Amino acid sequence: MLPIVLMSLLSALIVGVVLIALGLRGRRINDHPICRQCSFDLEGVYPEGVTCPECGAGLKREKSVRLGARRRRMWMVLVGALLALAPLPPIAAVAFAGLTGSDINAYKPLGLLLWEANHADSARTAGLAAEVLNRLMTPNKVTAGQYQRVIEATLALQADPSKAWSEEWGNIIDRAKLDGVLTQAQEDRFERQAGVLALKTRERVHAGRKLPVRIDLREARVSAGSAISWNVSLDGASVDGQEVARSAEPVEEVAPGLLTSAVWRMAEPGGTDGSYLGTFSLNGSRAPAFMGFSGGEPSLSLQLPGDLAPGRHRLAVDLEVDAQSGRGNGFAMMIINGRLQRGGAGATPRRVRVETEIEVVPAADPVVTAIAPDAPTTAKLAEALGVTGAEVTAPAGAFGEADGGAARMFVDFNVKDLPAPVAFDVYCRAGGKEWKLGTIDSGRRPARGDGSMFFSSMTVTINGLTRSSSRGGEDRRGVAGELNGFEGATQRVDIVLKPNPDAAEGTLDLSGYYNAEIVIPDVPVSTSVNPFEFDSAERMRQMIERSMLRRQRTGSGLGAPSLSGKQPTGPL
């Protein structure tokens, strides 16, 4: 029983006893002397008389006479009796349950259980839901009307993030579906309300700069067997009601290899809106293995207006959430050029707004601090970054103007457990020349490659435990850039790291950066030739489309829309 309920019952009992006592004592109606022994009115007898003419009690003893006759208040006695007697059954039930070790919830009426659910903490709500579920599973224990009342109360509880949730409440929805009393509208509502999202960003920012934003799944309000997929897309963003635009992020590079250049270069087409942010897997503790997957942490960068005044501002991000439960043969989802292609069973997409506050500081006030360098830390950083080599992909001229016929260098860095936080521009230096390859940092930032047609990471849930892996991983970061005029015979290069405070400010968590240039000398270079010989990215798209159509005809895979919006031509 909720402590507040038990205290209320005890309070009612005490108030009832007090009212009974006051009612029996009554209200004084005059100031006559009254015999305390028999309540006889001694008017005209006392103080001359020595004994009470009614009962013979001596009147000269101390406190033998009181002043004022009293009239009992029977209504107060009745109210007090009601208040004193009403709490006795539940208090007795609590005492009995405590002595015998039985569940007190079994003795509560259904209405009280549902009321307590709206006030219970996380430690008690599971027991309440378990008792409600037990009654639903017991034949003739609840009526059809009560069953619907339970369903609506459960959905209302799920919709309020301020109230404690347990998977047992979700199990009630699963049971209702099994019993055939759950409507499609109620099932869709359960899926739409299954998650609670939150906004993560930097608290202190500069006006006119990029603001990193991450969408977090704060809580999954599901059943034990749920396997729900939430596909999240950006619908808009604003600061104090003023619309702000999404800032493009460069495509994150991966090590050269099979399909690398073709696929990742193809992920940069003009006109791609890239509204798809990621997919949350909302799985219960007993969800079937491999029933959850995710498209990485939904994140983005926003371009703040340059005219924002210093002070506190309200940031709002509007999202479109497409819930899919995997009914039927599982999930059906395809992301093409950053745009989510809808499909499969699921509820109608809904709009979700997540908000937080940001503080805009004057341009002269830094939001990240430059960490003073020293020789030992610089040496440790150079070693901890773990640069063991640089990979150069020779020009193949295979993918049109995007490659420009120049060689590309890829360098991989370790960013885990560094002796200091870092934010660097990365340069390759050889033969008296320098080429900028990109930027690395050790902080958390929005996912690179907003227009990517493939996931930046995957999350799977196995027996209720969630495991994640990301492209390149959180431990290592890679950069790649073109090397115009690079000599193919070069065997070793210097990798130069130059501090970049803007890169640190573009992360979600870095409050400082190591302010020193680091040179990693004599890094060995390995050269490879791109194995693809496609004339253009269009031929690559057509090849993938033909493969998709072939799978559709043979039934070996899920169908998908055309990558280019056109039907492929040529023989299959």
Greater model confidence, 209 or 470: 209
429-to-246, 408, 435, 483 alpha-carbon distances in Å: 34, 14, 7, 10
| Residue 344 pLDDT exceeds 50 | no
| Residue 556 pLDDT exceeds 70 | no
The 10 Å Cβ neighbour count of residue 191 is 26
* CA–CA distance, 36 with 300 (Å, rounded to integer): 86
Give the pLDDT score at 126: 93
Taking only the tens place, the pLDDT of each residue in 197-231 is: 999 999 899 999 999 999 999 999 999 999 888 98
- Show Cβ contacts of residue 130 under 8 Å, excluding neighbours closer than 6 positions: 105, 168
| Residue 528 pLDDT exceeds 80 | no
Greater model confidence, 405 or 55: 55
* 3 state DSSP class of 55: coil
| Residue 567 pLDDT exceeds 90 | no
* CA–CA distance, 517 with 512 (Å, rounded to integer): 15
Average pLDDT rounded to a whole number, residues 517-530: 88
Greater model confidence, 569 or 431: 431
Structural domain spans, the chain: 3-166, 191-361, 369-445+473-529, 536-572
| Residue 544 pLDDT exceeds 70 | no
| Residue 131 pLDDT exceeds 80 | yes
- Whether a cis peptide bond, with omega within 30° of 0, leads into 47 is yes
Q: What percent of the chain has pLDDT over 70?
A: 74
Is there a contact between 119 and 125 (Cβ–Cβ < 8 Å)? no
Average pLDDT rounded to a whole number, residues 279-288: 85
Give the pLDDT score at 458: 43
Which residue is associated with the tokens 């104090």? 240
Strands 518-529 and 390-394: parallel
Give the CA-trace dihedral at 237, 239, 243, 249, to 10 degrees. Answer: -50
Give the pLDDT score at 205: 93
Amino acid at 320: E
| Residue 336 pLDDT exceeds 80 | no
Is there a contact between 230 and 333 (Cβ–Cβ < 8 Å)? no
> What is the distance in angstroms between the CA of the first residue and the CA of the last residue of the chain?
69
Give the pLDDT score at 522: 93
What is the token pair recorded at 189? 């509502």
Which residue is associated with the tokens 């309070």? 11
Give the pLDDT score at 58: 86
Give the pLDDT score at 539: 52
Report long-range pairs for 535-538 (Cβ below 8 Å, ≥24 apart).
535/398, 536/399, 536/400, 537/262, 537/265, 537/266, 537/399, 537/400, 537/402, 538/564
Is there a contact between 313 and 239 (Cβ–Cβ < 8 Å)? yes
Taking only the tens place, the pLDDT of each residue in 224-263 is: 999 888 989 999 999 999 999 988 665 444 444 433 333 3
Which residue is associated with the tokens 């002070």? 311
Topology of domain 369-445+473-529 in CATH is: Immunoglobulin-like (2.60.40)
The predicted model scores a pTM of 0.66
Q: What letter does residue 51 receive in the DSSP assignment?
A: B
Average pLDDT rounded to a whole number, residues 288-313: 77
Give the CA-trace dihedral at 253, 256, 260, 265, to 10 degrees. Answer: 50
For residue 551, name the pLDDT band (cuts at 50, 70, 90). Answer: low
Taking only the tens place, the pLDDT of each residue in 155-189 is: 999 999 999 999 999 999 999 999 999 999 999 99
The full length of the chain comes to: 572
Residue ranges with strand state E in 407-475: 407-414, 423-430, 433-441, 457-462, 465-470
> Could you tell me where the DSSP H helices lie in 107-230?
110-117, 122-137, 144-159, 167-178, 184-192
* CA–CA distance, 460 with 75 (Å, rounded to integer): 67
Give the pLDDT score at 63: 85
Give the pLDDT score at 561: 43
Taking only the tens place, the pLDDT of each residue in 32-52 is: 898 988 988 888 888 888 889
Give the pLDDT score at 451: 37
Greater model confidence, 24 or 486: 24
Give the H or E element holding residue 235: strand 227-239
- Show Cβ contacts of residue 55 under 8 Å, excluding neighbours closer than 6 positions: 35, 37, 38, 40
| Residue 421 pLDDT exceeds 50 | yes
* CA–CA distance, 526 with 543 (Å, rounded to integer): 30
* CA–CA distance, 133 with 110 (Å, rounded to integer): 11
